[in-house]
A and B are shown apart, each in its own frame.
Chain A
Amino acid sequence: MTSPPTAPPAGRPRSPRAHWQHRLAERGIDRQLWLLVPALLFVVLLFLYPFFYGLGLSFQPTKGGPFSDYARFFGDAYERDTIWITLRIALPAAVLNVVASVPIAYRMRGRFRGKRLITILLVVPITLGTVLTAQGLLNFLGPTGWFNRVLLALHLADEPVRLIHNYWGVFFSLIITGFPFAFLLVLSYLSGIDPTLERAAATLGAGWWQRFRTITLPLLMPGLATTFCLTFVLAFSVFPSAVLVGNPAGETRVISIAAYQAAYEQYDYPYASAIAVIMGVVELVIIALVLAARSRLYTGSTGGKG
């Protein structure tokens, strides 16, 4: 018994091959995927390969077992303390960058004349680069710089205040370079919050502080958490300013200096890699904590566009 062959219904793919192509395309698998290859190569060659190479290297110390370089780092107080030194600079700097961005961005929502100019002025430090910033800080905050001269002239200080080649030099440098990032991010998060919400709160009897605390801030918090993570990572990997305006042998011997010295002064690449991995793990721990806190917040629509 054979049934008569039936013609495939119109509109359906004829061959099994075309059928599969159609099914795959529905799931986003089609020839356009080849366009991803250059980016994928880029990521693999320039990021994944060096990362895993370094990770592997950190477990192959010049002497001892696979974890002996890690043991060496944590066994040596001078090395171990770099974690705290770095956190002591990076955490306050990141917090200050985020906190200072909020009121400024809050005032700069919406349109007004001169907004572009102010934004440019606030963002210019990004374009300067760390070295130029450090140079400027040395001139401005140094013992004979303008800042101290003004303090002395106004008799606010009897002798020049030391603000460079120590903790404060690095801190200011991180503020100058980190603030524009934080500000731009916070501004875009704030612009994404529908301004009608605050107007509604006003008609319901909320004053400006209540409006900010109960409406804007809760909707902004997830964005602030993300902004904090990004500026923290930037600050944690501080290197040039720690050397140029800090005290790289003492109170600003940050973890990246330890890694640099292992790699280019002692030529101990496995040890340097181990320090780099530790650096990454510390960052990840902080970020994980912040993101865990963030996940408890409301992260849905904020009613606006952007």
Chain B
Amino acid sequence: MTAPKPGFSQLRLEGVTRRFGSQNALSDLDLTIEAGEFIALLGPSGCGKSTALNCLAGLLPLTGGSIWQDERRIDVLPPERRGFGMVFQSYALFPHMSVRANVAFGLRMRRLPKQEIRRRTDEAIRLVRLEEHVDKLPGQLSGGQQQRVAIARAVVLEPSLVLMDEPLSNLDAKLRLEMRTEIRRLHQSLGLTTVYVTHDQEEALSLADRLVVLRAGAVQQIGSPQELHTRPANWHVADFMGYRNLWPMRVQAAQAGEITVEADGLRLVGDPVGQIAAGDQVVAAVRPEDVRVDDPHATTNTVPAEIEVVEYQGRELAAEARNDAGLRVHVRTDKRIAPGDRVTLSIDPRRLLVFPSDSVERPAAGLADAAEPGTLREPRLVP
């Protein structure tokens, strides 16, 4: 077995497709990864992100498409010949081997000289700060420590690509934040090209240089964290990026750069994303933190509403309000509000994104039957 080439300048996925039976788990993924990049594959469970990662690792054969490392086609190689490091969701540490033996495993498989194995293993263990635990078995370590062993085991080979499959999802909230910083620190100091799979948009935004949002096996959007955060390509991505307010509406008037939408007597001005004409069904989206409460300067997009539920979240309050027509609005504010308060909500027209509504689905957070405000509603599908 020969060690893989230490580096590459580009990794290209061309039309990568994976079918399970008749179902497309991943269809036609095109992606070019530059050396040193940190890419996050983001999406809800079942969107195909783990499938994509397993295809990259060689653990799942492709149904279609190809993967190229510079001019070398690698999708035909078995996993052990690709030289990629992988960190699994369950860590997949070898339970019968000590921490040191786990980390040294890949080097031993490469038949490197004993001294070099020793040196690089020690170095990797130091990197993840597990020096005191080298002789323990994985079962004697905490979840966070196991995760660090898994990371050390993957990076000790200095792989041309590191694949991480939801590595933080089994950790508690505090540890998750710590490990997130750790992973970012490792990436900054080692510069390893990384593909990171997660369903947590916050994790993806904070770690990645570039995000790939997947939904039902198809790419929705590829972009920098800023692009995804401020300008989602469609309402599904918006939904995923924290736009909790998604209202099905109808376009009244469309001008360049400004659009007026309406639903049940509520009229809002927003910023259109994509081609939208008057009369279209659309989805208006806004983040809870972009809905202001009782702003004295607000003149457009004001909505009188009543606060229904308030959650304390440290410096801010997260609240759910409802306007007279029954429209539910998620709000984040540092104003002191309480359930039952009458408030005036306002939305900056530049922060209200208006997406074309795709024909099949529309968001569930729609309007209540105005006759019975306050009752729970089934998500409604508009044909």
Contact = CB atoms under 8 A, between A and B. Distances in A.
A200 interface: yes
Contacts of B163: 203
Interface in B241-281: none
A301 interface: yes
B96 A203 contact: no
A218 B96 contact: yes
Interface string A180-224: 000000000000001011011111111100100011001100000
Interface in A287-304: 298, 300-303
B79 interface: yes
A303 B58 CA distance: 22
B109 A194 contact: no
Nearest to B85: A203
A301 B1 CA distance: 31
A199 B1 contact: no
Contacts of A205: 1, 80, 83, 106, 109-110, 157
Interface string B131-145: 000000101000000
A214 B80 CA distance: 14
B86 A200 contact: yes
A204 B153 contact: yes
A303 B106 contact: no
B90 to A, nearest CB: 6
B57 interface: yes
Contact of B95 (A201, A202, A210, A301): A301
Interface string B291-304: 00000000000000
B88 interface: yes
Nearest to A207: B80
B106 A300 contact: no
Given A194-B90, A197-B92, A303-B95, A202 B59 contact: yes
A206 B154 CA distance: 13
Given A205-B106, A207-B1, A196 B80 contact: no
A203 B161 CA distance: 11
Interface in B63-115: 78-80, 82-86, 88, 90, 92-96, 105-106, 109-110
Contact of B109 (A206, A219, A298): A206
A302 B79 CA distance: 22
B94 A215 contact: yes
A196 B96 contact: no
Nearest to A204: B106
| B: interface residue count bin | 20 to 34
Nearest to A198: B92
Given A204-B106, A210-B109, A300 B95 contact: yes
Nearest to A210: B109
Interface string B112-137: 00000000000000000000000001
Contact of B80 (A202, A301, A302, A303): A202
Contacts of B110: 205
Contacts of A218: 96
A306 to B, nearest CB: 15
B94 A202 contact: no
A300 B139 contact: yes
B59 A203 contact: yes
Interface in B40-60: 57-59
Interface string B142-153: 000000000001
A204 B124 CA distance: 15
Contacts of A302: 95
Given A203-B57, A205-B109, A205-B157, A196 B88 contact: yes
A200 B92 CA distance: 6
Given A204-B105, A205-B83, A199 B59 contact: yes
B96 A300 contact: yes
Contacts of B80: 202-207
Q: Which of B78, B93, B96, B106 has the most CB of A within 10 A?
A: B96
A201 B105 contact: yes
Given A199-B86, A203-B85, A206-B105, 13 more contacts: A196-B92, A199-B57, A199-B92, A200-B86, A200-B153, A201-B105, A202-B58, A203-B163, A205-B1, A206-B80, A302-B95, A303-B90, A303-B95
22 contacts: A194-B90, A196-B88, A196-B92, A199-B88, A200-B92, A203-B57, A203-B80, A203-B84, A203-B85, A203-B86, A203-B154, A203-B163, A204-B85, A204-B154, A205-B83, A205-B109, A207-B1, A207-B80, A218-B96, A300-B95, A300-B96, A300-B139
Interface of A: 194, 196-197, 199-207, 210, 214-215, 218-219, 298, 300-303
Interface of B: 1, 57-59, 78-80, 82-86, 88, 90, 92-96, 105-106, 109-110, 137, 139, 153-154, 157, 163
